[in-house]
Amino acid sequence: MPDPSTTGSDPRPSPPPPEATPPKPWRTEGLPPPPSSKTNKPRWSLFAMAAIGYAVVFAILTVQDRLSAPEVVPYTEFRQQVVGRNVAEVFSRGDSIQGVLKKAVPVPGETGQSYERFTTERPTFASDDLLTELADGGAQVRATPLVQERGILANLLISVAPFLLLIGFYVWMFRRQQSMMGGGILGSAPRKPVDRDTIRVTFDDVAGIDEVEHEINEIVDFLKDPGKYRRLGARAPKGVLLAGAPGTGKTLLARATAGEANVPFFSASASEFIEMIVGVGASRVRELFAEARKVAPAIIFIDEIDTIGRARGGARAFGGHDEREQTLNQILTEMDGFSGQEGVVVLAATNRADVLDPALLRPGRFDRQIVVHAPDQKGRLAILKVHTRKVPLAAGTDLAQLASSTPGMTGADLANLVNEAALLAARLGQDSVTQRNLLDALEKVQLGTARSLVMPEAERKRTAYHEAGHALLGMLMPGADPVRKVSIVPRGRALGVTLSTPDTDRYGYDANYLRGRIVGALGGMAAEQEVFGVITSGAESDLEQVTRVARAMVGRWGMSNRVGPLSVLPTEGDPRMAGISESLLTAVDEEVRRITDECYAEARRLLREHRPQLDAIVRELLARESLDEPEIYAAAGIPRREPAPV
C-alpha cells in the first residue's frame, strides 16, 4: 500500500542493567527467578577492597613509624646528658648515635616538649673519649638498635604490594574486555534476571494483523503444550521469519508471542553480534543459544537479520574468514542442532527478505516465512483503539474517521500520531484529546511542521496557483483520489502542500488511475506556465514523483504497447546486468517521455478550460491560507464525487 499522495511546491523499555554486570549483546524478558538469592559481588569490588586494604596498612605503618621515631637532638645536648649521667642506653652505627635517657628532659629550644628517646650525629672532628664517659655514667652501649626497624614482612608488603595491585588491575581490565566481547576467555559474571511481569506484552497489545496472529498461534500452542505435538510425531518450526515494511509490528509480534506463551524472550539486533575481531560474533551466538537452552522453552528473536544473513559470496563478502560469514555459519549450525524437542524457537525480522542467504530459508531452519503487511482500514481502527487505551479522549472523537484518513500508515505511524495529538493537547492545557488535536497531529505527520516564513506577495500568489493547480486537477480527473487539504503555509522544505488520499484502501492500480496521478502532479507546473508563463524550481518534488510513476508503468508494470508486458527495470541495480539491451532501454525512455508529455498537455488543457475555478480556489487560498476538503470543493463549485468501487 503506497503512502498517500502528497504534492508540494518544493521539495516502554526495560531498565538498564547495572554497570557492574558486563553488558550482553541481547536483552531478556520473562526469565525464571534465580535458583539462589545469593548475589555475586561485582568484579571491581575485589580490586577496590585490595586497594583500600593496602592504603589502610600503609597509613598505619606510616603513623606507627612517626610515633615511634626518636627525637633528633644536637650533639652538644647529647654531651650534656652524658656529662649529667642521664644516658641509660646507646646504639652507634658509624657517627650516628641513638639512645634512651634515664629521665625525660625538655627539648632544647621548645617549651612544653620533652624527650626520652633520641638520635644525634657525632662530628668527625670530635676528640672526646665518649665510650669512657658513657661507661663511667653507667650507660649500656649496644651494637643493635634500640628502636627496631620495620620487619621483613612489612618491608615486603610495602615494596611488592604496588606491583601486585598493578597486575590485578590489568587482569581485571582483561577479564572485563573479554566479557564485553562475548563471553570472555576467563569467564563472565552471570546476567541479572529480568522480572517476568514488568515488560510482558500479549496479543491483546497487538492489533491490525489478525491473519499473522493466526499463523503464529501455532508456535504459542506448541510452547504451551509441546506434548500434544510430540505424541503425533510432529515437531515445532525451528524458525519463523517475519518479513514486512518498517513499523508494521514485527518486533512487537515476537514479544507478544513470548508473552502469550509465558516463556523467556531473548532479543538482539543482528548488528550487535558484529565486531572488528573475527570470531566474536560466532562466540556471542553460541552463548545466546546456550542461555536459551538453559531456560527452555524459550524464544530467541533476531532483529534485522539481513545484516548478517545476506547471501554469501556477494560483493560484500571477503572469503570464509569474514566476520559476517562466521556469524551466519554459527547461526546455521546452532539451528541445525535443534532436534525440535528443546522448545527453543527462533524468530527473525527483516524488511529485505530478498537478500537473505538461501541456507537460512530452507526447511529445517526458518521453516516459515510470514509477511506482515501494513494494516487495512479495519486494522488501523483496532490499532488506534490499542494506542488510545491510556489516552483520555474527548466526547465526539471519531477514531473510525481518523482510520479512514490514514491509508498506508503502519502501526508505528499510528502510535506516533496518537502521541503527537496527546503532546498537542498537553501544550494547550487540555484535560483530554479532541478530534481537532488528532486531525492537527495527522496534518503535522503527513505534511510537516509549519514554518513561520514571510513570503513576498508575488511568491505567495505563484505558490497559491501552483497548489490550486494540483487541487483542481485532482477534482477533475476521473478516479483520482479526493483532495483533502490545500495549504500555502510553508511546511518542512515545501512552500505549500496539497494532500490527496483515497476513500478506501487500494491494493492495485490501473493505467488510467496512474495517468491521473501524473496529471495531478504536473498541475502545479502547468498552472504556473498557464498563468505566469514561467516554470520555477518549485516543481522539483512533483517531477520526481512523475518520473518514478511513469518509469514503473513502462518498465515494470507492462503499461506500454511499445515495450509490451516486460519487466525491464529491476527494483535496484543496473538493468544491463540482467541482459536488457540498449535499444529496449531507449524504448523505455521514449515511452516515459511520451506519457509525461501527454499528461502535461492534458493538465494544461484542463486548466485553460476551467480557469474560473482555478482563480476561485486561489482567491480562497490567499484569504485563508489553508482549505479543508469541504472548503476546497465549495470554492471550485465542483460536487464531491462518491467513492468509486476499487
CATH number given to 457-636: 1.20.58.760
Band of residue 45 on the pLDDT scale cut at 50, 70, 90: low
The sheet that has 96-106: what strands, in order across it? 71-72, 114-121, 96-106, 87-93, 140-142
Average pLDDT score over the chain:
78
Residues 6+ apart with CB under 8 A from 94: none
Band of residue 466 on the pLDDT scale cut at 50, 70, 90: very high
Cβ pair 418, 388 in contact under 8 A: yes
Q: Mean pLDDT throughout 486-505?
A: 81
Q: Three-state secondary structure along 457-468? A: HHHHHHHHHHHH
> pLDDT for 207-228, tens place per residue?
877 778 777 887 888 888 777 8
Name the DSSP letter for residue 192.
P
What pLDDT is recorded for position 320? 44
Our answer to whether residue 598 is catalytic in this structure is no
What class is the 386-447 domain?
A: mainly alpha
What pLDDT is recorded for position 422? 92
Does a cis peptide bond (omega within 30 degrees of 0) precede residue 297? yes
Which residue is it, cell 506500454? 560
Band of residue 426 on the pLDDT scale cut at 50, 70, 90: very high
Backbone angles phi, psi at 113, to 5 degrees: -110, 140
What pLDDT is recorded for position 63? 64
Band of residue 337 on the pLDDT scale cut at 50, 70, 90: low
Band of residue 638 on the pLDDT scale cut at 50, 70, 90: confident
Cβ pair 500, 483 in contact under 8 A: yes
Domain 200-372 has CATH 3.60.9.10: no
Other CB atoms within 10 A of residue 345 CB: 29
- Give the amino acid at 503: D
Q: Mean pLDDT throughout 270-282?
A: 68
User: How far is it, in rounded angstroms, from Cα 354 to Cα 570?
Assistant: 13
Band of residue 345 on the pLDDT scale cut at 50, 70, 90: confident
SS3 561: coil
* CATH number assigned to the domain with residue range 70-142, chosen from the 4 options 3.40.309.10, 3.30.720.210, 3.30.70.20, 3.90.1640.10: 3.30.720.210
Band of residue 339 on the pLDDT scale cut at 50, 70, 90: low
Q: Identify the active-site residue in 467, 528, 591, 602.
A: 467
Cβ pair 337, 208 in contact under 8 A: no
What pLDDT is recorded for position 185? 35
Which residue is it, cell 524457537? 345
Is residue 33 scored above 90 in pLDDT? Answer: no
Cβ pair 324, 310 in contact under 8 A: yes
Name the DSSP letter for residue 109.
T
Residue 448 pairs in a beta bridge with: none
What pLDDT is recorded for position 419? 92
Q: At what angle do helices 611-624 and 582-609 cross, to 10 degrees?
A: 80
Map out the domains of the chain as residue ranges: 70-142, 200-372, 386-447, 457-636
User: How far is it, in rounded angstroms, from Cα 116 to Cα 200?
Assistant: 77
> pLDDT for 370-416, tens place per residue?
888 888 888 889 889 888 988 899 888 888 888 888 888 888 889 99
What pLDDT is recorded for position 335? 80
Q: Where are the beta strands (DSSP E) in 122-175?
A: 140-142
Read off the pTM.
Answer: 0.65
> pLDDT for 278-326, tens place per residue?
567 777 888 888 888 888 788 888 888 888 877 776 544 444 446 677 7
What pLDDT is recorded for position 279? 63
Band of residue 260 on the pLDDT scale cut at 50, 70, 90: confident
User: How far is it, in rounded angstroms, from Cα 608 to Cα 491?
Assistant: 29
Backbone angles phi, psi at 157, to 5 degrees: -65, -45
Least confident range from 63-67, 88-92, 345-349, 450-454: namely 63-67
Instruction: Give buried/exposed letters for 579-609 (b at 16+ CB in 10 A, else e).
Output: ebeeebbebbeebbeebbeebbebbbebbee
Is residue 452 scored above 90 in pLDDT? Answer: no
